[in-house]
Structures are given as C-alpha cells and as structure tokens.
Amino acid sequence: MRHGPATTHARDRHAAADAPPPDDADFILELLNEPSFLRYIGDKGVRTRADACQYILAGPMASYERFGFGLYRVEEKDGGEPIGICGLLKRESLEDVDVGFAFLPAFWSNGFAFESASAVLAHGRRTWGLKRILAITSPDNEPSIRLLAKLGFRFERMARLSEEAPEIKVFASEA
C-alpha cells in the first residue's frame, strides 16, 4: 500500500515511499543506532532486529492506523535502497502535528531531506488540511535548524516533550 508522497519527488532521485514495513528492520536498526540519531533525536532502545520490528509496528505503522499518517521510508529511486525516514507525527505533548526526518549520514547534504520534507509538508497541507505544522530539534542540531529555515519554519519556543526529557527547540510553519 502506498501513501501520499510516494509519487511526489522533485528530481527523480528518490521517492518517499511506504511506512517502513517490518522487513525494513535491518535498515531501522542501523538508522536508530547511528551516533547522529542518538545525539540529535535520542535513544529509542532499539538494539536488535526484533526491537526494530517492534519499533516499526508500535511507531510508524501504529501512527498510520491511528492518524492516517506517519513516517515514510525514503529510498533511492535507483535500486530502492532505504536512506532515511521522513513524515508527519502527532505527539501527545505537542499541540500540532510535526514533521520529522532522519537520514543515514552517507546521504546528508544531497537535498534528500529538503525534497522529502517539502513533499511531506505539501501532502499534509493538501490531504489533511494542516494549516500549522511544527518541527522540533535538539538545540545544537545546526544542520536541521538550517533545513527548517529553508523549509519556511520559524523558531517559536523552547520546550520539553516530557518532564524528564531534554529541552528542545520548537519551530512552526503556517500555511
């Protein structure tokens, strides 16, 4: 089953495809244990292939069931190898939907995050009628902060997703 931006890609280099299926467990295991993911996004406790399958089912797949949207698997157009994830999330601790993305370091600085996030934002506004979309980053994640500015987000406030969570920057984009 394909979701929204699967057919939307700017330079035909990649497409944001389905929610990561459980057979993407090896990719998710690799991505969630990248030092950059752990530093800027956090430790999701995914250490084994079984953990990765559970993460996919309880995270992206459950989000699609509950909200109709979630994280997409971003893949190279040639070969279809997964290179990252990007999509819309609804966190209980935030008042609005937010866009999230993470890519394997080998694919940074190639425009994939901008292309994917642009497609996801357009899809969220068109399909779900979202007028306001948030984004969150670690305070020191300068590459993501620059990307959010390029996407039209503006810094709004500092916040915590929970009492024990580290402080994050919250950005907003209005349609």
Identify whether the C-beta of residue 82 lies closer than 8 Å to the C-beta of residue 74.
Answer: yes
Query: How crowded is residue 132: how many other Cβ atoms within 10 Å of its Cβ?
Result: 12
Report, as an integer, the average pLDDT of 16-27.
68
Identify whether the C-beta of residue 88 lies closer than 8 Å to the C-beta of residue 116.
Answer: no
Q: What is the pTM of this model?
A: 0.86
Specify the CATH number for the domain of residue 19.
3.40.630.30
Q: Which residue has the tokens 């999509």?
A: 87
At residue 78, the pLDDT reads 82
Domain that holds residue 51: 4-174
Instruction: Look at the chain and report how many structural domains it folds into.
Output: 1
* Identity of the amino acid at 175: A
8 pLDDT above the threshold of 70? no
Contacts of 119 (CB under 8 A, 6+ apart): 5, 8, 9, 10, 16
4 pLDDT above the threshold of 50? no
pLDDT in tens, 79-117: 888 999 999 999 999 999 999 999 999 999 999 999 999
Dist CA 8 CA 168 (whole Å): 30
3-state secondary structure of 165: coil
Q: Which of 2, 50, 3 is nearest to 22 (CA)?
A: 50
Dist CA 10 CA 96 (whole Å): 27
At residue 10, the pLDDT reads 31
Q: Which residues are registered as beta bridge partners of 172?
A: 134, 154
Q: Which residue has the tokens 């467990």?
A: 25
Pairing of strands 14-16, 167-174: unpaired
pLDDT in tens, 146-160: 999 999 999 999 999
Q: Which residue has the higher pLDDT, 123 or 2?
A: 123
Please give the mean pLDDT across all residues of the chain: 88
